[in-house]
Each structure stands twice: as structure tokens, then as C-alpha cells.
Amino acid sequence: MRFASAVAIDVAVFLLPRHLRERYCEQWNADVRDAEEAGIQRSEIARGALAFAVTLGRPTPFAPQTVRPEVLRRRSRLAAALSLSSALVGLSLYANAAGGGGQVTNNTVLDFIHFVAVSVLALFVVVSVVVAAVLVSITRGVHPRVRTAVWLLIVAGTSPLVASQLDSTLTNAYSVYLTPGGIAYVVGFGLVVAASLLLVRQSGLRARAKSQRLVVSALLTGIATLAVAALGLVHAIAVWAARDVPEYSWNIGLACDDTVCTVIPATSEMFAAWALLKEQFEQLVVSVFVVWGIAGVLFAIVVATLVFFTGIRPVVATVAAVSVLLIAHAGVMTFLYLGTFSAVPVVPTDVMFLLGRWMLVAVVLYGVGGVRLEPRTRRSVEEPVAS
């Protein structure tokens, strides 16, 4: 019975907010230890601890009532983080507009793990949208800016659904990236920017006193972001350069002997059209690499500027930037595969997409929502309370 009570106390302490855990852990353990002397059953203390823990105000909507300022602040942060992370995951689907390459690996176990991770991410997006909407809807005292920002982010997260609906009803385009549905992603990105400005304004986030340390932090963050972007660009160029360049397309091609190849007369026009498309795609790839290099520099400048003027932690900003670059890199590799069916990276693009999205979710929950996973040292019920 003592073991069961100790477990119940541990569960109750775990359910408490972090700043209350140490205090009530000592109190409840002492009550359980001295229960026999006081003529009280340990189970009563354990049940009371659990009842107190589950009814205490916390950043989840247990009741539509006015809450303490600290609880209100935590609920607002959590709602903003959940809605922002779901919106970013939704917008990142544009990078995978061409679709994945089918099976992730040749290993059934790894493919199943990937499937589970993707399914959990999809479930997280749905649950986060619902929880964020409930948090800002039934919690009294939420600032209008926060409430507006959360709803804007929820709408932005629907961009993939709107895009698919537009593409299915309107005329199909020649490019999988330039479709009517792409407008939904542009609008969604604009909503994310507007919501982020509202959240920054409401939080009062501003840079600390301009110091040499802050300048160095911003500079190092920008350099790290630029280095990752350059590394991705170099990798993509290397993969593209090492591709197998076909001299014919399926049955539209050449008749070759030991020394010379000639165009098959019956398919000469089709072969010429294919060769033209091949040349145009290669020129497009070069343009993509140039744009990627310019965008990488601009992105690094933006990240460094945000660190300097808003006071965002350099580590958080760097991880967020790496997440975005990883998703972008996977998108470019998918584009290369679409054009050649041979420029396949060592790490499958589906894995890069998944890793980048989970990293983005984690850094938003940590940096915006204040979510922490901190281990708690289990106290023995026999440990005396410090005086």
C-alpha cells in the first residue's frame, strides 16, 4: 500500500506546474511518512494529492473562467505555439508539391517507423489546432492580439487543403509548383507573417541593451545559417553533377552500333522535342541554384537581424533556421529527382522532410510556447523534510 501511495504522489507531483513541484513533493511525502502516527490512511493523502493536481489551474481549458495572470500567460503562449507550429507544417507541404519517391527505404522496419512518425505528426497538427482554438476561445482575459493571431495561424494552416481543392477544380498547370493552388500558400505565408507581428507586439519582445555580445551572437547566428545554406547548395550541385545523363528517352532515341549513334527516323521529331525539354530543364536547374544562393544569403541576414532586434535566443534561431533549410533542401532534391529520376540523395527526401518538420515543431514549442521536458528526481517517502 505504501508503494501505491508513493506512485500516486509521484504522479500528482508530475501533473503540477514546475514551480510548485518541489514544494508539494516535500509536503506530500512528509504527510505519507507520518500518516500512521496521525491516524490517517496513506491512500487518503494520495487521493487528495491527485485531486488537487488535476484541478489546479494550468495552461489547458478546464473551465471558462478568469484565471490568474501567470496561467493566462502560459495558455496564451501555448496556444500561439501550437497554432504557429501547425501552420508552418502545413506551409512546408508546398516544398513537397511534386510528391515523395514512394518507398522511403528498402527496409520494412524503417519504412514502418517513418510511417508512424508521419502519422503522429499529422495527428499532432490536428490536435494542436483544436487545442489552440479552445484555449483562446474559452479562456477569459486572452488579449485580442493573441486571439486574432491564433485564428490567423489556424486559417494559414489550411493552405494545403485549399490548394488541393483549387488544383482539382481549376485548369491544371504544366508545372506542379506553378498551379492555382500555389496562391493559397502565398496567402497562408502572409497570414503567418501578420500573426507573428501581432504576437511579437503583444509579447513586448525587444532586444536587450545593444551590446557587443548581442552583436556577436547575431553575427554568429547569421554565419551558421549561411554555412548550412551553403552546405546544402554544394550538396545539391554535387548530386546534380553526378547524375546519369541519358542520351535518349525511353523508346524515343538513338540507334547505336559500336562506334556511332544515329537518331531513329520514325521518332526524330519526338526525340528533338525531348532533347529541347531536357536542355530547358537543365537551364532551369542552374537558375534554381543561383536563386538558392541568393536566398540563402538573404535568409541568413534576416535571421541575424531578428536575433539582434528582437532578442531571440541564438540557439533557438539557429535551430529554426536549420529546420527551414532542411525542408527547403529536401524540396530542391525532390525537384531534381522529378526532372531526371536519377538525382537521388543518400538520405531520402521523405526522411529530410520529416526531420525538418519535427525540428520546426520542437523549436516553436520550446521558443514560443515555453514547453520544457525536465526530468524530476524521485524523492523517497522516507526522506525527511528539510527544515
Task: Give tens-digit pLDDT for 196-207.
Answer: 988 888 776 554
Considering 15-24, 48-57, 161-170, 293-302, the range whose residues carry the highest mean pLDDT is 293-302
Distance of CA 241 to the CA centre of its chain: 31
Q: What is the pLDDT of residue 364?
A: 93
Rg of the Cα atoms in the chain: 28
What is the three-class DSSP state of 66?
strand
Residue 240 has pLDDT above 60, yes or no: yes
What is the CB neighbour count within 10 angstroms for residue 212? 7
Alpha-carbon span 62 to 135, nearest angstrom: 9
23, 49 Cβ separation under 8 angstroms? no
- Beta bridge partners of residue 249, listed in sequence order: 252
91, 327 Cβ separation under 8 angstroms? no
Three cell numbers, residue 346? 543518400
Q: What is the pLDDT of residue 267?
A: 61
Q: What is the pLDDT of residue 387?
A: 32
Q: What is the pLDDT of residue 268?
A: 64
Percent of the chain with pLDDT over 70: 75
- The DSSP line for 122-165 is HHHHHHHHHHHHHHHHHSBT--HHHHHHHHHHHHHTTHHHHHHH
Alpha-carbon span 282 to 336, nearest angstrom: 10
Q: What is the pLDDT of residue 50?
A: 82
Q: What is the pLDDT of residue 384?
A: 39
pLDDT band with cut points at 50, 70 and 90 for residue 14:
confident
Lowest mean pLDDT among 150-154, 201-205, 220-224, 285-289: 201-205
Task: Give tens-digit pLDDT for 35-92.
Answer: 787 778 888 888 888 888 776 655 554 444 556 788 888 888 999 999 999 999 999 9
Residue 381 has pLDDT above 90, yes or no: no
Using a 10 angstrom Cβ sphere, with 0-12 exposed, 13-18 middle and 19 or more buried, the burial of residue 121 is middle
Task: Give tens-digit pLDDT for 325-376.
Answer: 999 998 888 888 776 655 555 567 888 899 999 999 999 999 888 877 654 4
Mean pLDDT score of the chain, rounded to an integer? 79
Give which of 70, 145, 77 is closest to 367, Cα–Cα: 77
